Amino acid sequence: MQPTAEESQSTAMRRPLHGIRVLDLSTYISGPFCTTLFAEFGAEVIKVELPRVGDPLRRFGTITPCGDSLTWLSECRNKKSATLDLRQPDGAALLRLLVRDADIVVENFQPGTLEKWGLGWDVLKKENPRLVMVRVSGYGQTGPYRDRPGFGRIANAFGGLSFLAGYPDRPPVTPGSATVSDYLAGVFGALGGLLALRSAESTQEGQVVDVGLYEPIFRILDELAGAFHMKGLVRQRMGPGTVNVVPHSHYPTSDQRWIAIACTNDKMFARLAQAMGAPELAEKDRWQTVAQREQDRTEVDRRVSEWTSQHTRDHLLKWCEDHQVPCGPIYSIDEIFDDPQYRARENIKFMKDERAGDVAIPNVVPRLMGTPGRIDSLGPQLGQHNDYVYKTLLGLSDDRLSALRAAAII
C-alpha cells in the first residue's frame, strides 16, 4: 500500500533520531554539546538540572536579558529542562524511573560520582538493559588519573595540543579556544553514543561509551605519535607554520590584513610561483620539491610574505583563486557575519527567543540533504518542562509534585 502524500511529507520531515529519548545529566560544554547534536536531529533530550541552581553553563559567558548566557541558549537548544536533585535518595529513585524509557544517558561528572549517589552503570543497566551511557570525564573512567578533575584547558595541555600552539621562542598559548577539547569530546561522545545505540538495536544489550576529555585532542594530532615512535621527533612550536609542508602559513597583506596560503604539494607550489610572477622558484635548482622547500623554509616564507605584502587581501584572494592556489582570509567574527559564503550556507542562524530576544548562533552541522537537523528552540528556562517529565512521563500526582518541590528534590 502506497503512503498518502500527507504521510510521505510527514516521513520526509522526520529527523533521523526521532523516537530516541536522551537524559542529559551533564554540565558545562562537553556533555551538553553531545546531547545538542542528538537534539538537532530529532532526539528528545531531557536536561536534568539541580533545582534552583541549574547547570553552571547558564552563567558561563555573555549573559542575556533573560539571565541565561548565550552559550546556554546555543548549546542547550532543542532540549527540555527538568529539575532533579540526584544527590537525594528520592531524586535518584526518580531518575531510575526515567531511565526505564530512555535510550541514552549522558553524564560528565568525575568518575565515581554517580556511583556514590546509587546511579552507577551497574544500577542503571538493571533498570534498562538496552541503555547506552555516554561518560565524559577529564581522563576517562580508568587509569591512575581517573579521579583528577579536568577542564578544556587541561585537556588541551595534557593531550599535546597546547605545546604546539605559539612561536618557538615564546610560551605555549591557548590553541584558539580553551573549549576546543570540550566540543571535540562532545562530537566523539555523540558518535560513540550512536554506535552503541546501533549495537543495542541488534543485540538488545547496552554499553558504556567512555571518553576522556584529552583523548579527542590526542586523536587529531596527525603523525605526532608515529613520528616520535619511528624517528624520535618531538615537534616544536612553529607559529603559523605547518610541519612537512611549506609555504603553508599566514602571510601579511598591504592593507594590514592576513591571508592563509596552503601549498601541500609540488603542483600547488608551482601554481603559486606562477601567481607570484616568479615561475623559476618552482624549477629543479630552486624549490621544486617539498624537501627543497622544507630545507629553505625561512627563505620560502620570506619570499611569499614579500609578495603578499605588496597587494591587498582581496586582490590576493582573487589572484590565488584564478591560479587555483588554496588561499583564504583570516577572518574575525565581524567579517564572518558579512561573508556571502556564510550567508549562502546559512551557517549563522538568527532566532527570536521569547526570553532573550534576537540571538545569533551557529547553525546545524552536518548538513543532511534528506533528513536535515534543525533548531526548534534555544536553551530552555530552568525547570520549564517539569510537568511534562513528572506528570506526563512518570504519571506523578500534583500532591506528589508539591511534596517533591517542598523538599527541593525537583
d(CA 22, CA 19): 10
232-239 CB contacts, 8 Å cutoff, 24+ apart: 235/164, 236/164, 236/168, 237/163, 237/164, 237/165, 237/166, 237/167, 237/168, 237/170, 237/172, 238/164, 238/167, 238/168, 239/166, 239/167, 239/168
Q: How far is residue 73 from each of residues 4, 36, 203, 387, measured CA to CA in Å?
A: 38, 11, 37, 21
d(CA 149, CA 158): 12
d(CA 267, CA 278): 14
Residue 182 annotated as catalytic: yes
> Which one of the listed residues 68, 85, 182, 301 is annotated catalytic?
182
d(CA 207, CA 41): 22
Omega before 252 within 30 of 0, i.e. cis: no
d(CA 44, CA 36): 10
d(CA 380, CA 36): 12
Q: Count Cβ atoms below 10 Å from residue 356 Cβ, excluding itself.
A: 20
CA max distance for the chain: 87
β-pairing, 44-49 vs 21-24, is parallel
Q: Where are the alpha helices (DSSP H) in 167-312?
A: 180-203, 215-219, 224-231, 266-275, 290-295, 297-308
d(CA 29, CA 108): 9
Q: Where are the beta strands (DSSP E) in 65-155?
A: 79-83, 104-107, 132-137
Residue type, 322: D
How many residues does the structure list for the chain?
410
Taking alpha carbons only, the member of 336, 282, 334, 335 closest to residue 304 is 282
Show which residues are catalytic.
Answer: 182
